[in-house]
Amino acid sequence: MTQVELQSDTATQDRPKIWAHSGDSHLMEPEDIWTSRLPKDLADRAPRTERGEKYEIAYVDGKQVTRQLNDFMDAMRPPGFKDLKIRLRDMDQEGVRCQLAFPSSGFWTVEIEDPELARPVARAWNEWAIEDFMGQQNRILAPAVLPLPEPADAVKELEWAAERGFQAVFLPTGTPEGRDWGLEMWNPLWDAAAAHDMVLAFHIGTGTATVVYRGPGGAVVNYMETTYPGMRVVSQLVASGALDRHPDLKMLVAEGGAGWVPAIGDRMDEAYRQHGMFVRPRLDRLPSEIVRSQVYTSFQHDISAVQVIEDTNYYNVMWGDDYPHLEGTYGHTQDTLHQVFDGVDARIKDRVLRGTFEELFTVPATEDLTVAC
């Protein structure tokens, strides 16, 4: 790999090429990510998946999670889904400068309840991300995985990750009963994230059931259901005072759209005013003010996410390609970007495609971006 200058505006089918950062992409872990790095007794309990004709079964420390998975998904993977050099080529082709790349199999780590297993599993994932991705190029940023059974362990791993160049930590939107993100037990984690300038990167569809309804329209309803826990995370971190106490702390809800954010800010303001006699803790700012300054979101196809920005004064919005997942834009990224952004005010377009990402993360200058040889 070498350092060369990317062209900023190339013609594609007589259209200018739109370049963007992606606030929601993913890494695809090798099957031996844990078996090659952990002792056998721990590796045997680490997350693994098995594929059948209709279902994928995830095994995590004695638990079993089954989900329907069509075989055609593999055939639709981008060419570089497990090859870094080809992935960078895919990014150049699609017009994606940098990506925040969440786990894939690593999402299952949040199901681990045993702290003795959670610690080495998280560390192994983070070391792999450093060695195979972040240490090999400068365009793909990974959030660190944290061991969550013990908050003190999560704090230690965040501090370890910050020292090694991670800029964010991955957190699930769903939590087990009694471990909601708004509870005081997590305050040391928020303190540490603020102290080390680490973004709290929540991804929807994690830590909770993704199939909750089996009636008519179930595919659409269950896709919607993945978004609601992200709304709860925002309301809890705002109302609990976690963000208010740390005005420089930023949180991201990835892949859940963006148009809903100013609406729940208004809804929380109403609760804060109309039910003020019951509100604890008291905040230094209205919930909607906290939302607009500290809550960030990413979307893929939502036209409304861009339409509401100026009228609601909510500018913390990023686009995401979801590479290399099925719902992503690979193969039609430029079509999607033109559909969403053609005719959009240049200031808002630049904010969503570049500015918001660069407000959260340090990225190299265009001429210094790593590209495939």
pLDDT tens, position by position, 51-94: 776 677 889 988 888 766 544 455 568 989 989 999 999 999 99
pLDDT at 170 over 90: yes
Bigger pLDDT: 6 vs 174: 174
- Tell the burial category of 115 from Cβ atoms under 10 Å away from its Cβ (0-12, 13-18, 19+): middle
Domain boundaries, the chain: 20-28+81-360
CB 199 within 8 A of CB 168: yes
CB atoms within 10 A of CB 281: 10
How many angstroms separate the CA atoms of 310 and 320, rounded?
A: 20
Per-residue pLDDT of 211-246, as tens digits, reads 888 999 998 998 888 899 999 999 999 999 999 999
d(CA 352, CA 335): 17
Task: State which fold the 20-28+81-360 domain adopts.
Answer: TIM Barrel (3.20.20)
